Amino acid sequence: MAKGERLKVCISTLEMDEAAWKYGHHAQIMLDGTFGVCSSRMLLFISLAVDEEGKGVPLAFFLFSAPTGNRATHAGYNTDILEELLRKWKARLDNQSSTHAIFTPFVSITDTDTKERAALLRIWPNMCLLLCKFHLRQCWTNKRKNVLGASAGGNEFWREHIVQRCRTLEIRLIESIDHQSALALIEIERQFANHLLPQAEAKKAAQGSLDFLNYLTTTWMPISLWQSWSQWGRLTAAAVMKIPVEGVIPTTNHLESFNCILKRRHIPEWLHSGHRLRFDTLIHLLVTQILPSIFSTRKANREYTKWLSLRFGNSITHTSGSINLERAQHLQSQSSKAQAWWASDSRRDSQAANILRSGNIINMSRDIDGNTICANCYSTSGVGSYIVKISRSGFGSCSCLDFQSRGGACKHMRALRLLIDDWVRTGQEPVFIFPTTLSEAQNLLSHATPNDSPWLANVIPPIAASIVSNLELLQSLANDHTIIGSIGEAESIGSDLPDAVSSSETDGGFTSSGTQLHAIEHQVHCKIEHSIHQLLPGLHGLSILAEEARIPDTEETHEFLAVLQDLCQHFGVISNPATDGNLPPQTNAGGYSHWQTNHAHSQATLLPPSPERKQKRKKSHGTM
């Protein structure tokens, strides 16, 4: 393969096409890439959707080589190559439609890579783009560690205190549905940090907190980007797809899991002595063996589940008749636990007030889901410590015997609720649900799911249902006044929207391609500034070294200078490189004239083998 050329392959079998129309059309898709899948420098991007059972379903594979000459495979793609492959895939699906429908996913979720998001918008200009919550928190965590360091000038207390406050802020920002309120949360933390600055023992931690808050404000809080990762974005996506907000996938974990299974289970079955497959062999096996095996396994599982329902469905009944066995198992496990309801009880309320006055509630934190407040509570006698938990969705528990044997809110739970009520009144926490009777608690339990979050419908009092169908209301909640014109493209989302979210209701700021492109542009600018900040000291040192001797003639040098040339052209610094005295005259896209004599008669550069080792998921240190 000659220098600059690349191999491009789009794999979409009949089963994948059927799944794309069933699970991706007017629904949510994921897009992410991986590398190290074969012996050559190839990148594999996968489009994936989630079926009715919450399992990931591959819709298409996009396999392409990195440009010859690139030393790092992961740097060998851009928006154009992804756009080309996505457009080919869409054209194939459109041509196969018997109803002349246009394949149009309404929502997509990716990591923070701007190239994937920009390519999706080029194909579907009105698509709602969401950012993966996991990758977002990973960027924030990396930045937080960077600015706060390993210690805080010998005072670990203040560092840990600031870290805990930052984590709480991150959770509340992701849960936010109002942009101004989210900015106000950051301002509260900024005031707290400024208050600590004069204190010598807390100064370093406070300065780190201010740096982190400035990073959040400048990098992630422009409204167009905030809409992509906040709860507002998920509510908007739910409105567009006309599904409950719980049905909007918040992370790309399904795709990460599929990548892991593909690279650690399916592909290794065909390896010989651990050597990676050639790319042509990989493509052949994907089409003839691996993908058919994945879909045949899915079919077998569906048949088995259907048989289970027919054979044992009547053994467990509910008020509405037979129910799914998995749901019955979940309800059965929940019903065996004591339930919390908040009946009037002046005696326990008085005891709770005494517990709170005595300062016997300590070690308050959040559970892993971020929606549950946890604490240790001592009794008024100071003997015995109990673990108390209260969830926004109406559930609660305490390890004391009173609650375990009787149910209903005990004095320890009521003491924690006093704190929570105060936080809600002052706007520090969203609304919590507190059922007042056993029947209300049982009703909440009957509608619970393993990933329960029904509190979302109560966070926004004006919105009664969890299916939000008015995008104008969501736009007003975010204080977003962006208005776009009518949608004129035949393949736009507006023409395919259900009646409840079509016409003027699609003019919300989130569905504007211009608004989302502004978010991507902002991300790119932030990444450029960050990269320049990281590279500039090293480049200054390299410039000094170059003055001492002639630049060596190596492949790395050629690639380095070619990249510099591209950067200069993108930044508009050089309009005519051949007349610039600071760089040698350019003779071709890959090198300069005073090296050309050494390589004038060399053969075309062949596609080299992949330089990466077997790929395992690495810990990311990026903050963008």
Collapse the DSSP code of 480 into the 3-class scheme (helix H, G, I; strand E, B; otherwise coil) and give the result. coil
pLDDT per position as a tens digit, 298-324: 999 889 888 887 877 665 444 444 445
Question: Nearest Cα to 437, choosing from 344, 349, 350?
Answer: 344
Instruction: State pTM to two decimals.
Output: 0.62
Given this model, what pLDDT does residue 511 score? 45
pLDDT, tens digit (0-9, with 9 covering 90-100), for 562-602 = 777 777 776 765 444 444 444 444 433 333 333 333 333 34
- Looking at 179-183, 215-219, 433-437, 562-566, which range is the least confident one? 562-566
- The length of the chain is 624
Question: Closest Cα partner for 267 from 26, 44, 599, 534?
Answer: 44
Residue 551 reports pLDDT greater than 50: yes
| 207 or 318, which is more confident | 207
Mean pLDDT of 153-176: 85
62/59 Cα distance (integer angstroms) = 10
482, pLDDT greater than 60: no
Give per-residue pLDDT as tens, 6-50: 788 999 999 999 999 999 999 999 999 887 788 777 889 999 999
329-343, 472-486, 576-590, range with the lowest pLDDT: 576-590
Give the distance between the most distant pair of CA atoms in the chain.
Answer: 95
Mean pLDDT of the region 388-412: 85
Q: Quick check: 165 pLDDT over 80?
A: yes
H-helix or E-strand containing 362?
strand 361-366
pLDDT over threshold 80, residue 263: yes
- What is the CB neighbour count within 10 angstroms for residue 165? 16
What pLDDT is attached to residue 17?
Answer: 93
Q: What pLDDT is stored for residue 105 in this prediction? A: 95
Low-confidence winner among 196-205, 206-215, 286-295, 335-344 (lowest mean pLDDT): 335-344
pLDDT-derived band at 333, boundaries 50, 70, 90: very low
Radius of gyration of the CA atoms of the chain, in A:
28
HEC-encoded secondary structure of 273-302: CCECCCHHHHHHHHHHHHHHHHHHHHHHHH
Q: Quick one: pLDDT band at residue 378, thresholds 50, 70, 90?
A: confident
Report the pLDDT value the prediction gives residue 377, as an integer from 0 to 100. 85
pLDDT reading at 66 higher than 80: no
* Mean predicted lDDT score pLDDT of the chain: 75
**Which amino acid makes up residue 241?**
M
Task: Give mean pLDDT, residues 397-417.
Answer: 86
pLDDT score for 368: 59
Average confidence (pLDDT) over 119-148:
91
Percent of the chain with pLDDT over 90: 25
- pLDDT of res. 318: 45
Q: Which amino acid is at 305?
A: T
Strands 396-398 and 586-588: unpaired
Among 117, 94, 180, residue whose Cα is nearest residue 476: 180
Region 187-193: what's the mean pLDDT? 93
Residue with tokens 């979050």: 453
**Which one is predicted more confidently, 181 or 500?**
181
Q: Which residues contact 313 (CB under 8 A, 6 or more apart)?
A: 322, 323, 325
